[in-house]
Structure 1
Amino acid sequence: ARDRQEAETRLEALRTQYAELSQQRERLEGLGEESPCPTCGQPLGANFASVLEQLNEQLETVRVDGQYFRQRAEQLSAVPASIDGLEEGRRGQQQEVAVAERRLARIQAAMGEAAMVAEQRAQLTRRLEDATSQLAALPSGYDAHRHEQLRADVQRLQEIDTRMARVSGLLERELVMRTERARVLAARDAARERLMTVETQLAALGMDDATYGTVRAAYEAAATEAQRAELEAVAASGEAERARTALETAEQARRELARLQTSLEALETEKRVHDELDRAFTDLRSDLNHQLRPELADIASRFLDDLTDGRYTQLEFDEEYRLLVLEDGVPKPVISGGEEDLCNLVLRLAISQMIAERAGQSFSLLILDEVFGSLDETRRSNVVELLRRLHDRFEQVIVITHIEQVREGLDRLLLVRFDETRGCSVVTDATTALAGASLSPEAEVAAGAAPAPWGEG
């Protein structure tokens, strides 16, 4: 699924590129030799045929790439027949398992029900045997005289039972009444004793009704005052508790303020250090940009000169490191998609070389993935020759591409294809086997640096 998505994304990009190139070719064919040059804006004139041929080559390259990625997407979209067969077999087996599980459930339920029925049958058999024994023990025949005697005995016993029930109720009530009578007598005696004690105390006080009223009023006033004082004490206690809480909160806030002030002083000190470091790094970055940008532009310009056969000899960068191509010292306002890809390749090679030079040693590996798609045949050859000249900076160079023409300039070829029977990718060394054969459009060629002159790939 990942490979299919990648192929579809690449195919969509190629379709867009093909549409743009087709529109550009239609404009050129419609205007003829009076068509403006995409670079300088002047009429093409005698160069019309070469520019049109270059557009046709680019269209053919994009078309071939599109066919490859379309076939690749179609190949990855189809589900293998073996997987369909296995999936169908899996569904059938799942249905059989479901039927077997339902049958097993019914069998287990029937077994449980059979055990229950067997147990019930055994119980019924025992009850039948008991009933049969009891029936066999009963006397046979009917005795009317005995029946009348038993009926009289039952009536007499019922009357005795009724009388016993009434007597039992009276006995229980008598016990309750005796207990209640004893409790009432004890309460009466205690009340009499208390009355005598109060009368004795009252006689000893010698207090009449008027004095008693005065003392009672004073007592009630004192009780009211005591209750009010108690309420005020409770309120004062609450106020004191709230004051203590407020004091603790204020003390905690004071400690937190002191801690925050200490932290603020430390942060301000750290901020001043960071500001100074930021200023120093900004100055350093500015100095490095002023030093590196001209050097990087010079290295990239040499690479561009080699790859374009001297057509473009100079590159410049603005403050944002945006590319600007110069043609005869004049900025070129419009560049094609292939030229833009070429400039990006040149920039990456220049950055790699600068890093290698400043590191003081050559890089061991350089990998280029699909860098020839938008380049014409001449520039492809120039890129291969340039990579050969980078041997002193990159010991190994690996190029990943599906364009057949590139393999002729490489030292070693590795063919990567997808084996449907094994379900994985297979890598074979095709350096000798593919020397005179054409590569399959379904494969990609990984060309690595050979021992000579680039080192082991």
Structure 2
Amino acid sequence: MILNNLKLSNYKQYSHLELEFREGLVGIIGKNGAGKSTIFEAILYCLFGRDEGNKAHVRSAFADPKATVELQLDFMIGEIGYRVRREFRGKALAVGAEFYKNDVLVAKSVSPVNDELVKVLHMERDAFKRSVFSGQKELSELSDTSGEARKRMVRRMLGLDTLDDAQSRVNTDLRDLSSQAAGQRQNLLSDDSRESLKSEMAEREKALETNSLAVKNERQILQGIQEKHRAEKEKFDQEETRFKRHSTLRNELAQADERRAGLILQVENLKKKEADLHQQKATQDNIRAEFTGYEAEKKAFDALEHERSKHINREARLTKIAETSEQLAATVLKIKTLAEQSAERPSIASALVEKQKSVANLEAEMETKRGDLRSIDQQIGGIQAGVRERSEKLERLRALGSEGNCPTCLQPLLDGYERALAELENEIIALQTKQLQQLEVQKKTVTEAGLSLKTQQATTRLEAEKLLQEQTRLTEVARQQTTEENQKRQLESRLTADETILREIGEVHFDEAAYQSVKAKLAAQEPRYREFLSQENYLARELPATLSALKSAESGIAEAGQKIATLTAELATVGYDEQAYNLAKQAVTNFTEAFQAQTETLRALEKTGLELQNEQSKSTEKLRINERILAQISDKLEEVELLRRLTEMLGLFKTEILEKVSPGISLEASDLFNRITKGKYEGIRVDENFDFAITDGGIFYPIERFSGGEVDLANFCLRIAITKAIMDLSGSSAERRMEFLAFDEIFGSQDEERRMEMMLALNYLQEQFRQIYIVSHIDSLKDFFPHLLEVQFAAEGSTAVWR
């Protein structure tokens, strides 16, 4: 696998970055904080979708709060090209991802993309980071630790720390299961308790059998009582039926007697009311003649009221017709005045058009004069240019003198000098005195004519504006005339309508004195007349109703008497005997009490049986729970044994892996160390406990024996060897082999000689890795890198430039 290019947008220190990765040994240089390590953080995030820091800090501080953060990495595995794009959108930094294979989209969204990348890379993020990225602390920590701590560190570097975690979880489960089994043992029944419980259950079983026989016997007694009770109950039901029918008939008979008495009293009252109403009717008949004349006068008064209404309406119409006629006359006069004023509109409009044409014609003549003036100015400019040209020639000739050469033909001037001077002076005089003066006269003439035309145009325009104002005023007069004519038509229509209504009303003969006299007379008689009418209405309503009610009451008395006779006859046939009824009722009551007593006895026995069964069930459940706990303890003990064997196997498996990889690490580290030291040291040995020794003169010495430079080189070689072992354990094939390696600040505070030895080692590594990137802020190393990538910090975002 090699990297092709990286694109960043609004990511941490970078506003925009497009980086093409080169092959070979590359130094990434720049000041602290410029963003060197950020490049590798971006690579890791593209490949595995996880950042070491807080997601809230991925957006550049100088970017807009809603700007999209984008990361894109292109890489090759064998001949296949891959591209992974990740982004953070919006203020909430919503995460998105896409994965392409040979420019074809194969996965979208975070989880599918991460799954596909693990399949393609054949390693998880931690293994990738341990095999590709190395820091200064990771080099020195190999020699700074020893014993079990160093073995744990190597296991972590090889990715075997997951086995440590698995073993720890197995041990935790082992302890938990053992504790659970011990706790459950405390809940088991003792042997004595179990035997005592079984004995109690046997005695309880005998008691249950005795209770069952007693319940059976008492239930038979209860059934005998029920049969005798049923026979007595049938007798009582027959007597109860007679009693209920006898009671019903007695109630109905009492109600019929009560109703008949009420109706008799009602008939007496209605007869009294009938006599009183007839007496009131006789009184009304005696005074009826008194109000015959009142009704005739009332009809006459209604006729007078109608005439009065017509009279008032006629007077109102006459007043309205007079007002409308007056308004109509004023409107006609106003229309006449406005029409006289509007008669001038055509002449004003015609005069305005003529004035506007005159203004336009004068403008055209003025434009012609402007053209003439421009032409004259151009001619004057041409003549002035000719005068300047000849004056310059004259000055040049005078400067050359008679002995000089002609600037045009390059021949000596000699005798032609004075002649040339005279010709030039004559030409200047002719141009200034003749042509130029004539043109100035023409210009003056044209200018005066133009000013005259301008004065005429201003006067004409002022007259046109006055005509326009007058036309506007007359237009308003015409509008007012139209309004008044509409008003005239409305008044004429209103007048016609009022005259029509007046004709429909016709002549009216209304006597106000007669009207008031009749009105006063009727007002005096009206209270007594209203009282008379009220009494008439009362009699008309109450007399028929009273006669009808009287007839109905007499009919009801007859019906009630008939019903009383019927009920009396039926009551005699019921056959109810009070003494027989009480005897039957007492017999049923006696059997009911015996039945209830026997029922209570039976229920007490059944309750005792249920209590015995409940206790028996509880004892059975205790034994069942005890057996279940025994089974669970047995299962847990089996699982404890299985976990114990598993943790032993995990320990053996870890030891076996370390023993398996240690020879390969020794071989790889020895070969690299021997080449770097140019044969001074034959190699490095790594034993099964991962204690390191360096061969010097064929003898293995502990690493502590050597100087800091040799130790650093040994640590570096061991780190490279472990990196290859990690790649082998990850199952990388030849075409999927990781050919990219990165070291972040591995030089630290080493002196120049040690740095050179490290650079020599890195140059050797180019034979095995196509891309080796070294992050460093040490300027003295610049000249030793075949390629340099300089990261520079700026307020608007860092940049990365190849040098």
TM bracket, shorter-chain basis:
0.3 to 0.5
Higher relative contact order (CA 8 A, sep 6+): 2
| TM-score, normalising length: structure 2 | 0.26
Question: Which has the greater radius of gyration?
Answer: 2
